[in-house]
A and B are shown apart, each in its own frame.
Chain A
């Protein structure tokens, strides 16, 4: 296992929280991280596809913005990982982010909640899928909506821990806004990760969205939502537009599958 940076010429990290360009390219994914991803996504999720167990990672530093993320995608690495403000830009890979061995066609993006909120991650991921020739304009709209809903759930209900029912009470929208601001202001909560793992074949696309929240009971989700309800339609959209939706990890992982 080797978590050291590929180049000793990488710049040293700046002040915590500063926006800096991605600057560290790692050339190996630790075996324990690869095993965790394999356990989560199954043996076909990557280990068998690994090339000598090595995977290059484009590593973002804390508080990446859209341009930095697009630039990192442009390196065509399998892993794109945002380091938290507490991590050294050139240190060993910490165990609090998931990595994955390379698959022939796929990529893995890991961002902190603070960065993912407001970044329109679904747009960026779909832009990248389009750039890599996976999405056509005809397919994109429905896939982007499903991915957006999964990411929004992971951020709001998962990592920020705000119950969907909050908005159903009188003036619940005001409480919802207040809870959003409070949770996003909590440094520890902002550091929780949103991981997005996209893989595809010639005729299908799978995207997993993983959070670090408390999870939920997927079996308790209603099949439909009252037409006047203020919440609960995200899964209605995903069920209607994806070929298959599967919730695992006690509600922390939503796997979306689409025909291409």
Chain B
């Protein structure tokens, strides 16, 4: 998995690409660190470029949700499609994470 970051006044947008899976845990602290911006109120994970996510990747999204919540930041998943949407739906994480359809 690779990611790029866009920043605006109160929003950080992270554009994920490739496959998000169990071998990507080393990238997670770098993404968590992005939550530490003082003015950040909204954290968007753009998944348009993501082709696959496994159960470990789902777990990473939920870790990010917990970390965002602790900082009073709203986490949003955006542009889910194909196999990624299937995994997200199967995991039913829409009950705890905001998903923009």
Contacts and interface: CB of A to CB of B under 8 A. Distances in A.
Interface of A: 117-118, 120, 141-142, 145, 148-149, 152, 155-156, 167, 173-174, 176-177, 180-181, 225, 227-234, 236-237, 240-241
Nearest to B65: A228
Question: Which 5 residue pairs across A and B have the least CB separation, nearest first?
Answer: A233-B55, A230-B59, A227-B95, A234-B55, A177-B25
B86 interface: yes
A145 B92 CA distance: 16
Interface residues of B, number: 28
B29 A177 contact: yes
A129 B60 CA distance: 30
B54 A145 contact: yes
20 contacts: A141-B83, A167-B63, A173-B25, A173-B60, A177-B26, A181-B26, A227-B91, A227-B93, A228-B62, A228-B95, A229-B62, A230-B62, A230-B63, A231-B55, A233-B59, A233-B90, A234-B56, A236-B55, A236-B90, A237-B87
B5 interface: no
B86 A152 contact: no
Interface of A is mostly: helix
Contacts of B25: 173, 176-177, 180
- Best-surrounded residue of B55, B95, B96 (most CB of chain A within 10 A): B55
A141 B90 contact: no
Contacts of A230: 59, 62-63, 66
Nearest to B19: A120
Interface in B14-33: 19, 21-23, 25-26, 28-29
A232 B91 CA distance: 10
A145 B53 CA distance: 9
A118 B91 contact: no
B96 A174 contact: no
B58 interface: yes
- Best-surrounded residue of A117, A173, A181, A228 (most CB of chain B within 10 A): A173
Contacts of A177: 25-26, 28-29
Contacts of A174: 29
Given A117-B23, A173-B25, A148 B92 contact: no
Contacts of A227: 91-93, 95-96
A240 B87 CA distance: 11
Contacts of B86: 141-142, 145
Interface in B54-80: 54-56, 58-60, 62-63, 65-66
A167 to B, nearest CB: 6
B85 to A, nearest CB: 11
A172 to B, nearest CB: 8
A108 B63 CA distance: 37
A119 to B, nearest CB: 9
Contacts of B19: 120
Contacts of B62: 228-230
A173 B57 CA distance: 12
A174 B29 CA distance: 7
